[in-house]
Structures are given as structure tokens and as C-alpha cells.
Structure 1
Amino acid sequence: MIRPAFAHLLQPSDMLMWSQGAAEPIDLIREALGALPDLGGLAVFLAGSYARLVGPDADPRLRIHGLGAVGSNRDLCAAGRMQVHPVNLSQLPDLLIRGAIPVSVVLMQLGPGGGSGVASPGAVQSFSRYALPRARLAVAEVNAAAPRTLTRHPPDLSRFDHLLYCDRPLIEVPQATPGVIDHSIATHAAELIRDGDTLQIGIGTVPSAILTALSSHRHLGLHSGVIGDAVLPLIRDGVIDNSRKSRDTGLTVTGGLAGSAALYRFADGNRDLLVEPVHYTHSLVTLAGLENLVAVNSAIEVDLTGQVGSEIAGTRYLGTIGGQVDFVRGAMAAEGGRSLICLPSRTPKGRARIVPKLSSSVVTVPRAEADFVVTEWGSAALRGLSVRGRARGMVAIAHPEDRENLERAAAELPG
């Protein structure tokens, strides 16, 4: 049931921001959007979204900003409705605190705490927490159905003008089934991961396949921006035990959960799991202190010199910067750390993804921070190589039918 607690307080000049991913406060969002006809205008800033409450057919008076094509936000980008802010997640706290992204209304979902007047982060440590000092209105719902998660940075309930309670099942994020190519990529990626390494790995078919391929590894650690169901078998079987982490020893650390009810049940009251805010999970100081950190990320395209494009294909916004650059830099700074960019060599329609030049010209990860690139054909170790050496490595992991064209392009590269 929608409980009108704040809609009458909204103003046309407001920019709203709410908890992302599985922690979207659905009732609060619906109430806010329902006030739009009377207000005549409103702005929102979206992080990852799966609830599909703001779609391409949203009221044209709704001004939509966000971080890119995360979840159902891809439809907004495809329709040209989202004004994309290209920022690293590690930069987001400062941008919100300073008001560079001028959020004035915060809506958050929290989880139950250990007692009266206490709450937990629930499924996600919301980015919107950093907008609270400047927000003129803050509303939180404590969802009894959310997991009671542990953190060193608990929410401060005194920050909220309105505090509501609900019992609504969390948004479940479907976990796609890996295909043959995903598993081939995973085989090569797993060869680059050693016992005792700490992983940063997200959700999707390639990450799921890689986690499956690690079933024979031992004493792995986990520190990620988000985790899904694919980590559960490895934790259950003791493959991920965090025993060799140089920071947060014995603990899995994540910024959020995105999966099924089974994942949320696993997190509920789990003392071996911390759900921490982005200023900790994505901090270079934090990441550089994780010895043998292996950052596993994907890309839309990678060029012959190792430049990574993870946002745009041609003119279509398909991805986001997110935490990719943060984790790549953190892994490269960590003692024994490695960065793996994993992708199929071609799209399902047969378009090359190892390319002479990025089709959009938008570089997400610069070539100076290239390390390993992995496709179904193998891996290319690029760190420290010359331009020509990198090109040879990239041609070797491209689709065989694309290699001749790439070799011609490589011969023309400066340097």
C-alpha cells in the first residue's frame, strides 16, 4: 500500500535520487512519480535500476539523469531519455557531497537492524547516502524483507525527515545462463587466477562462467562492488574463504547484492559478509591494500593497443563506467594484482569486438592501464609491452576471421 508521506513536499526544481539495484524503494518512487502531473516537472538521478519504474515512455516533464546503461536504464539510453554523467563510482561521493550533482531529495530503502531504532544497509549501500548532507528532504523505508546485513558504516536514522516501515519482497535480478563462448573465456581467465587471490567480479554470463571455472581453486577472497548468486557455491564449498586477504581477512566485502531470494537469505545476519559504501569498496587506498587483487571486468570493445571501451558501441550507449576504472587501477596498484578484461571476440551478430580503433572513440580504460585481455581464443598480456607487441597479442586472441584485417591495421599503427 502506498502511504503518502512526502509527495506534497516536492518542488518542480527538485532532483531525486534513490537506492539503486535490489534496494529501490518501490512505494516511495511511485508516490514521487505520481506527484509529477501536479508539479509540472521533476528531475531524477538514476544509478543501476531493475524495477522499470522509469521507462522511455515516462512523462516528458521528468528530467532523467544517470550513470549510464545499467539494468533497465539501457532502454532509457537507447531512447535518448537519459543525460549520462560519465564518472567513476569512486568520484560519486564527492560530487554529491559538494552538490556538483544537485540532489535535493533522497529516497532510501534500508534493512532491519538488530534492535529498536536501528537499521542495516539491507541489500545495498545506497549511493544516495552522500546526498543526505545537502538534501532538503530525506525519506527512508525500513523493509522487513530486506536482509539484515553487517557494515562498519551503518545508516544514521537521524538524517531522515520521514521514516516508514514496509514488508515487500526485494527486487530479484535474473542470473543469465552462460553459453559455450562464456565458458571458453572462463577457462582462459581461470588460468590467470591463483590460489589465495582476492577477486573483484560482478554479475553476468562471463563472470558466472569464470566463477564456475574456479571450483578447484582454494582460499580465494572476494571484494566486489556487487555480487550475485554465482558466488554462493564457491562460498558454500570453501573455495572462497577470504583466509588470505591482506585486508578484511575472513570477510567477503561488497557494496551490494543483485540476485535471487537465495542470495538475500544468505546475506541475512551473515557475520562473514560486509556491505560497505562506495567510498570504501572503490577507494584506491582500500584496493591497493588488497594483495593479489584480481579485477575481472568486461568490455564492449578493445582496440589493438589495449584501450577499452565499456560504454558505447558506435553511437549506442550500452554500458557504463561504473567501478571499472577504479578496480583496474586498484588491482594494478596492489602487490601481485592483475586486471582481466574479458569479452567474446565477436558479437552474436558477428561484429568484431577486438578492433583497430574503438567504434565510438570513447575510451573507458586507457591503454596505459592495460594488463590482461581475455577472449575465447586465449589471453594477451599487455602490461609493459610496446605498441607493436600489444598489437601482436591482441591479434592472436581475435576471431580467426578478423585477424588478417587486424594485422593490416597493426602495421599502420604509430609507434
Structure 2
Amino acid sequence: MAKHLTDLDDAVDLILSHTYGPLRMGAPLGIGKPHRLLNALYARIAAEPSRSWMLYTALSLDPPGGGKGLEGRFVKPFAARHFGEDFPRLAYVQAIKRDALPPNIEVEEFYMQGGALLRSTTAQRHYASLNYTHVARALVDRELNVIVQKVAREAGGTRLSFSCNNDLTQDAVDAIVARGLPRPLLVAEVDPELPWIGGTAAVDEDYFDLVVSPPGPYPALFGLPRQPVSDVDYAIGLYASTLVRDGGTLQIGIGALADALCHALVLRHTDNATYRRVLAAMDPELERHPAVIASGGLDPFAIGLYGCSEMINEGFKRLVETGVIRRKVADDEALMQRLADGTANLGDQARLERDGEYLHGAFYLGSPAFYEWLRTLPDDQRRAIGMRRISLINELERGRESLARLQRHDARFFNSCMMATALGAAVSDGLEDGRVVSGVGGQYNFVDMSNALDGARSVLMFRAVREDAGAAESNVRWNYGHTTIPRHLRDVYVNEYGIADVRGRNDEDCIIAMGGITDARFQQALMAQAQQAGKLRAGFHAAAHWIDNTPAHLSARLRAFRHDGTLPDYPLGSDFTDVEQRIVKALGWLKANTATPWKKIGTVLRALGARSDDSEAMARMELAAPGNLSERIEAKLLALGLRETR
């Protein structure tokens, strides 16, 4: 029987009394972490040097601090409103950022908040490079003795739901027991803010040894602020959307590229004529691209898609709402086989409609609006969303492979990378000096699955150019000192300049295809490197249209659709007010135009004569009446940024 407590200190007492040696604890990634309980543990163990605590987790979310200057003026009020003044920042994260963890506490993560811990030697030394599906096995090797997790409680009932994180706990517990090790102490913290998800995410409360229900008020769930989508991001999303086949399966990652892809899929389904006009403006020959013909399409979704993704996010919400995600599957192989071969009867169809699910995920993460959507879903829609173990989402599980193949036909796995090489390798998680930006996560799992499933494709999306210290650099590299996806698994790459289908191609053809989506400023040098390496014929001549691969050409093609609202700045909604959206644009312009010392000097000189007529923006940044020289300079810079982005 589960023991029930309401006091966090009492829960800490019980956890510590259960473990007489080192505390080896697992906690879910993302919003499944019980922040207040973890902070209470940290405070107790930091004060007891004789106790040791090893925490194994991932994606320890931390609200932005704000920094100084204009950024701080913008971020601090926004963070207070968006995350809440009482949001419990994780104490161990603050210590890791300062490289100041007590010697008796160690934190090991297999996935980090993107770029947040590049400067922390503590985080970098204790990063564990693991495929998502290998984490449960690694937790067994670490001999976990405690697992803590947030859960939702069924209204009026006694069941608990893993809700936001059904990814690893059950897999880890089963693997630990199968190894012959003691079952870990399982601790649930009930959070009334978590949406209830039933089905396979629900368990009896006695699955846990300890259920903690702290008194309110309850801090809000960590909400990811929805980011603006640029011309580059939209072009990538639009190109990628043409590779999706009606009636197929969809997996997507997170971020502006995923948002752009989801918006493009919605546009394809709900306003197909406009969708085709946008594509024609980008590339009049796109509908005749071999990859689009072989693997995708441009028509609305008559059947709809089945979503099967490790993370359910904002984009899936919009895809469900607009009817793009609606193809249901059932955990019944015989039924799925009859549907596949066309012998299903009316009873089969009725059962699929009643019991089937059209969206599966292992964890979810999004904005406050996304969480509210999950809380208020009608029961029939809620039943169609299933939170599953990571072993059921990210791989073809032994014993269920034939069922998964029937459910996941025509699968498209869309993920992002930072760079790609001309020979088809992808750089997604780290830098060539070994530092980790984020983590492998599930990306390799999905690339591998795309090779295992008939008709599946892996699509890696990336921006063709990045700014480094004010200078443009190509993200199509000849070589790089670290890769996440090896070149022998190359499939489809998409950036703002098009689609490169490189699966099964020889090296020379791969190089030419990748050259075709390289920014024009870097094409000649890249081809010269290939020729020097003996990988490209000496007489090679680039196609005439390669010279159009420039930001100016891209913006010109999309300008009309940006202006008429077809491609809005925030396609999935915004957490910023209208005033804040204007400020975000201005700050983005200022960042780009102060990236080098000479640019900064030029921008400051231009700003000296700037005046702002946006009193709302100046008031929001507390610069309506600047009091000292520093504030006057900030006010002038903001006025210039607002003027330039009007």
C-alpha cells in the first residue's frame, strides 16, 4: 500500500531512511520533475556531507534569468509573468551553472536544455551520451534505488497518471527488476496542474510506495515561450511539408523549424490553393522534385496522419485541431491487418473509431495554452491521445514489431540538426571540441527506425547559414570533428534552399545534392574542397539556379505572404503581448547589428539621432524617462531598433 504524506520534509525523511548508503535517484526529464521535492532533498543533503546523492535525469528546465541591459529589461518582467514569481528554480541547476555543486552531490544528464550548459564544466563532465531508448538500461547499471516523479490524480478517483512523462519510469523499473536488483522506492508527487491522461499512462496509486500531495498554492508548469518564425524557418517548414504522404505517420521535434513545418501542413490541408502559391513562389518546379513525387505530395489530407512522436508539443495541438492528425490506430494486430488489406468490416471501423488513438507520445512540453488545451479536451479527444513508454515510441519493440509496422506506415521523421557535411553526416548535439549543446535524445532512434520501416524517411532540417561573431558561416561543411548521425545513414536534408535526397547515393552525387542547398556565398569553396579530396570531378559546373541561394532572394519570394498574414510571425500563437512582439523584433535587429565591435560602433552612432514614437514599447522597457547616461543610450538603441523593424 502506498504511504501518503503532505509535508515535503517528511517525504525527505522517508526517502533518506529508505537508503542507508548512497542515494542513487532517477527523475524524469522536463516538467515531470518534482521541483519542490528535489529542492528539499538538495537543501538537506547539501547540509549533510556524510550523505551522497547521485541524480540521473535530463532536460532540467530553468527559466531565463534576463541578464543585463535591454535583454534584462525585456526578460525579467516577462519571466515573472510567464513562469510565475513563485516558480521553484531547481537548486542543483543554479549550482551547476556556477560549477558549485557540493562534493557529495552529483548530477548526470543525458539531454540538456539547448546551449544552456556549454560553459559548465560540471555539466559537461557528467553528461551521459545515450540514445533515449538506452537510458533505462543505463539506469539499471547505476543501480537506482529511488525514482521520483510528478503525477496527475484522476478526478474523484484513486488512480494516478504519469501524464507528461510516461517515457522511462516503467521501462526502468521493469529493467531493474529483470536484472534481479531490488525494486526502487517509487515516489509520486501529485500536481493538480498536470492534465489527466488515462489509458496506458494511468496506474493504481499502489504502483508507488510513497504519494506526496503538498499543500497549495501550486506553481505553474514550466511553459516554453513560443518563438517567432523567420523567413528561413518558414522556407524549411514549407519544403519539408511536401515530403509528407497522406495517411502516413508523423514525428516532429521542437522549436521554430517544427512550428514552421506544422503551420505548413495546416496550410496545405486548410487552404491548399494558397499553399501551392507559396510553394510556386519558392520554387516553380517543386511539385516535380523527385523526392516530392516519390515520398510526399501537395494535396490536402483526405485520410489524415497518425502522430507518433517522443514529444507532443504545440504543433501537434494545431494539427489535431485542424484535422491533419486524425488517422486512428489500435493495439490490435489482427484489426490493423484487416484495415491494411481492405477486409475490415463496419464493426472493425466502429471499434477503431471508438477505441483507436491518433496521437502517441512519451512526454509532452509546451506553452501554458498547450497545457490548458490538454486539461479541457473533451473526453473522446482525450481518449485518442495515448502517452506511451519510450520503448514503444522510439523503436520497434521486440514482440510488437509487426503491429508497429502496420500502425506506422509511410512514416516521416522530422528532426533538426545544427550542421550537415557534404558527404551526408549530421551534427546535431555537440561541438567538435567535445562540448555538448543538447544531446542525442531520440534522433538516432528515429533515423535508425526510418531504415527499418518500409516506406519511411528520415528528414533532417537545418538552417543553411549561422552568424558567428558577426560573420556568416555555412552550415554545410566539408567535414566536422563531431557527428551525431553518420554519413552511411544519410537520407533527406532540408534547409531554406531546398531538398537534398541523398539516401543511397554515391559520394559525388551526395556532394552535388548538398551543394544545391548550400548558400551561394559558400558553394565554390565547398566544391573546391570536394575536388581537392578527389570526390568531385574536375569539370563539374554548378546548376544555374544555385546562384539564387541567398537570403535576399528568399525574402523576396516570401515577402508578399509575410505581409498578407499567410506566414505570420507566431503561427502557433504567442506568449508575448503585442508590444512585446514589437520589442522582440527590435532586439533581434539590434543583436545582429551589434555583433562585432565595428557594427556596434556604427549602430550606436546611428542611434544617437533616433527618436521613438512607440511610447508603449518604451514604457514596457522602463525607458520612457531615462535617468542616466546608460539608460539614455539604451533608450536610443531601442528607438532605432523599433524604427528599423517597423
Structure 2 partner of 1:383:
503
Q: Secondary structure at the match of 1:368?
A: helix
Provide, for residues 346-396 of structure 1, a one-character-per-residue CA deviation record: whole Å limited to 9, x for no partner.
1133222110112xx232112121110011011100011001111111111
1:284-295 alignment runs, 5 A limit: 284-285=396-397, 288-289=405-406, 290-295=408-413
Q: Deviations over 1:83-119 (max 9, x none)?
A: 11111111122232xx223332211111113653311
Q: Which amino acid letter does the alignment assign opposite residue 455 of structure 2? A: G
Report if aligned partners of 1:103, 1:131 keep a CA contact under 8 Å in 2. no
CA contact (8 A) 2:167 2:388 kept: no
Letter in 1 for 2:526: L
Q: State TM-score, norm by structure 2.
A: 0.60
CA distance in 2, matches of 1:333, 1:27: 42
Structure 1 position 331 matched with structure 2 position 416: no
Which runs of structure 2 are paired with 1:307-346 in the superposition (5 Å)?
307-315=425-433, 316-346=435-465
Q: Could you say if the C-alpha distance between residues 237 and 147 of structure 1 is closer, same or farther in structure 2, counting changes exceeding 3 Å?
A: same
How far the C-alpha of 1:318 sits from its partner, in A, is 1.1
Whole-Å separation in 1 of the counterparts to 2:314 and 2:11: 35
Which one of 362, 387, 401 corresponds to residue 255 of structure 1?
Answer: 362
Q: Which moved more, 1:346-355 or 1:150-159?
A: 150-159
Give the secondary structure class of the aligned counterpart of 2:450.
Answer: helix
Note if 1:21 corresponds to 2:30.
yes
What is the aligned partner in structure 1 of residue 479 from structure 2?
Answer: 357
State the 1:77 CA deviation: 4.2
Q: Distance in 1 between matches of 2:7 and 2:254?
A: 32
Helix, strand or coil at the partner of 2:473: coil
Quote the residue 1:124 is aligned against: 165
Q: Distance in 2 between matches of 1:12 and 1:318?
A: 33
Q: Spell out, residue by residue over 1:128-162, the C-alpha distance to the aligned partner (whole angstroms, 9 max, x if none).
A: 44444445433111222211102325345334332
Match of residue 282 from structure 1: 394
Number of residue-to-residue matches in the alignment: 409
Q: Distance in 2 between matches of 1:259 and 1:23?
A: 13
Partners of 2:329 and 2:358 within 8 A in 1: no
More helix by share: 2
| Aligned-partner residue type, residue 45 of structure 2 | L
**Whole-angstrom distance in 1 between the partners of 2:264 and 2:44:** 49
Matched, 1:60 2:60: no
Mapped partners of 1:125, 1:381: distance in 2? 34
Tell whether the 8 Å contact from 2:189 to 2:212 is kept in structure 1 after alignment.
yes
Larger Rg computed on CA atoms: 2
2:153 maps to which of 112, 115, 127:
112
Alpha-carbon separation, structure 1, partners of 2:361 and 2:107: 27
Question: Residues of 2 paired with 1:231 and 1:337: CA distance?
Answer: 20
Aligned with residue 225 of structure 2, among 171, 174, 187: 174
1:65 Cα shift?
0.8
Aligned residue in 2 for 1:31:
40
415, 418, 421: which one pairs with 1:303? 421
Give secondary structure in 2 for the equivalent of 1:225: strand
User: How far has the Cα of 1:171 moved from its partner?
Assistant: 1.9
Distance 1:37 1:236 in 2: 47
**What is the correspondence of 1:186-197 to structure 2 with a 5 Å cutoff?**
186-197=237-248
Distance 1:243 1:151 in 2: 15
Once residues 248 and 189 of structure 2 are traced to their aligned partners in structure 1, the CA distance between those partners, rounded to angstroms, is 38
**In 2 relative to 1, CA 5–413 (structure 1 residues): closer, same or farther, beyond 3 Å?**
farther
Q: Deviations over 1:213-232 (max 9, x none)?
A: 11123112211111211222
Report Cα offsets for 1:157-180 as digits up to 9, x if no partner.
334332112463322122222111
Which one has the bigger strand percentage?
Answer: 1
Scaled by the length of structure 1, what TM-score is found?
Answer: 0.91
Of the structure 1 ranges 180-189 and 46-55, higher mean CA displacement relative to structure 2 is found in: 46-55
Question: What is the identity percentage for the equivalent residue pairs of Structure 1 and Structure 2?
Answer: 22
Q: Is 50-59 or 296-305 further displaced after alignment?
A: 50-59
Distance 1:223 1:126, change over 3 A: closer
The answer to whether the 8 Å contact 1:224/1:281 transfers is: yes
Q: Which stretch shows the higher mean deviation, 119-128 or 296-305? A: 119-128
Relative to structure 1, the CA distance from residue 157 to residue 227 in structure 2 (aligned partners, 3 Å threshold; closer, same or farther) is same
**In structure 2, distance between residues paired with 1:312 and 1:220:** 32
